[in-house]
Amino acid sequence: MARQIDTVNPATEEVIGTYRLMSDQEVATAVDDCHAAFEAWRLVSLEDRAAKISAIGRALRDNREDFAALMTKEVGKLIGDSRDEIDLCAAICDYTAENGPAELADEERAIPGGTGIVTHAPTGVIYGIQPWNFPCYQAIRYSVANLMAGNGVLLKHAANCTGSGLYLRDLIEAAGLPKNLFTVLVIDHDQSAEVIASARVRGVTLTGSDTAGRIVAKQAARHLKKTVLELGSNDAYVILDDADLDVAVESCATGRIYNNGQTCVNAKRFVVTDANYDAFVERFTERMKSFEIGDPTDEATGLGPLARKDLRETLAGQVEDSIAKGARALCGGTVPEATGAFYTPTVLVDVKPGQPAYDDELFGPVASVIRARDDDDAMRTANDSHYGLGGGIFSKDTQRARDLASKHFDTGMVSINTYKLALPNMPFGGVKNSGYGREHGGFGMKEFVNVKSLYMA
């Protein structure tokens, strides 16, 4: 009997799809076919590549409702969040098509006795290993940039959103991209290691946990392959003494609950100075309580399920461990007695180092509130993490907040008096255990190119 993947609706627990894992020979053939498609694609002009990417953006918009419904079935996203995800992916295509030719164009520089030319040559097949929390976005984010650069793309998607990966492949090919240039591999972890080792593969990018990042980086390093890693985080949002609490409470609640709390750049730790602590905790807890659990396909639902039951159990265990070590739950902290992988919106206080709620990433609707003495202590606490992907600062003095963000916040992205997920024209990525490399904003197009010097006499 062939090995297979069953995808399960996390809201209803019903099996919605069954997919056969590829054989080793099928994987090898798929990699070879992707490389062959790359050999032709690398010679296509920047302008023609941009036209194909623009067409992918139009196809995403044309198929928005069907794709959004599939993502909600596979991973439990609120239907509105799924639609927003498709819109973001289409906007990424637009930005890449509009800016890619200029970003990747040859540059001329004066050199002694002639002209220097810097060119950005495609390198080959780029392998992406992607998670389930954004089934379209995670794949589009790296693939569109690399297609614009002239590379071929392989995708190993998370098992529970296999259908979304295949849907995207078919959509991209229907939009006019050459067949096999964007290839989906339905494979297991052992086969993935062989793909990384393949001489056809020139780079590897992964979005996932820091544990997975270490494994993949080690596998790639063994073969001297460049990697880009976007890993987990426990982003701190800092409420300073002069913060506008109306703005802070609403932005922090939105930032914690967005995508059912399963986003690498969710707001997760809330560091509040003594001046605002009591008021913030009271108002923030009431706002978190207001998110009603329900059917993610219902427009009125405030919070859907986690993507899988095992993820829900992991989250529940982290909360229980934190409480055992001194934290208190002001709301939530329980598993509902209902079908589906749901978890109640939770606010933890008395959060200290040594608790998962302080040290680790809690991937779900659980907020960790941490008291700080003053603004300086708040910034120290925000940086007291082995992660560094995103974060936020709330202050009425926006110039001071900007200075703190740019000079003192040890993280890749900072939102000031708001919560932002990702924008096509702004770089996305982190530091420390949150990984390395950048996507979006033109940076992702150059991560896997050969920056080549030509010396013209």
Give helix 46-62 / helix 79-103 axis angle, nearest 10°: 170
Q: Which two tokens stand for residue 353?
A: 């180092």
Burial class (CB in 10 A: 0-12, 13-18, 19+), 76: buried
264 catalytic residue (yes or no): yes
Task: Tell me which H or E stretch contains 279.
Answer: helix 274-289
Torsion-angle region of 364 (φ positive above 0: left; ψ -120 to 50: alpha; else: beta) = left
Collapsed DSSP state (helix, strand, coil) of residue 448: coil
Looking at the DSSP bridge assignments, the partners of residue 115 are 110, 456
Query: Cβ(30)–Cβ(143) under 8 Å?
Result: no
Task: Tell me which H or E stretch contains 22.
Answer: none
Q: Which of 74, 136, 264, 447 is catalytic?
A: 264
Whole-number Cα distances in Å, 158 to 221, 261, 307, 316, 344: 23, 18, 11, 22, 25
161 catalytic residue (yes or no): no
Cα 292 versus chain centre, distance: 25
**Distance from C-alpha of 407 to C-alpha of 421, rounded to nearest angstrom:** 21
Q: Which two tokens stand for residue 208?
A: 């996932």
> Residue 86: what are its φ and ψ, rounded to 5°?
-65, -40
**Distance from C-alpha of 359 to C-alpha of 379, rounded to nearest angstrom:** 16
Whole-number Cα distances in Å, 370 to 95, 135, 258, 351, 414: 38, 32, 20, 6, 19
User: Could you tell me where the DSSP H helices lie in 304-423?
Assistant: 309-324, 356-359, 375-383, 398-407
Q: Which two tokens stand for residue 412?
A: 């890749």
CB-facing half-sphere around the CA of 352: CA atoms within 13 A: 8
Q: Which amino acid is at 394?
A: F
Edge-to-edge strands, sheet with 346-349? 328-331, 346-349, 366-372, 269-273, 236-239, 391-394, 415-416
Query: Cβ(202)–Cβ(126) under 8 Å?
Result: yes
Q: Which of 74, 85, 103, 230 is catalytic?
A: 230
Hey, which residues are catalytic here? 230, 264
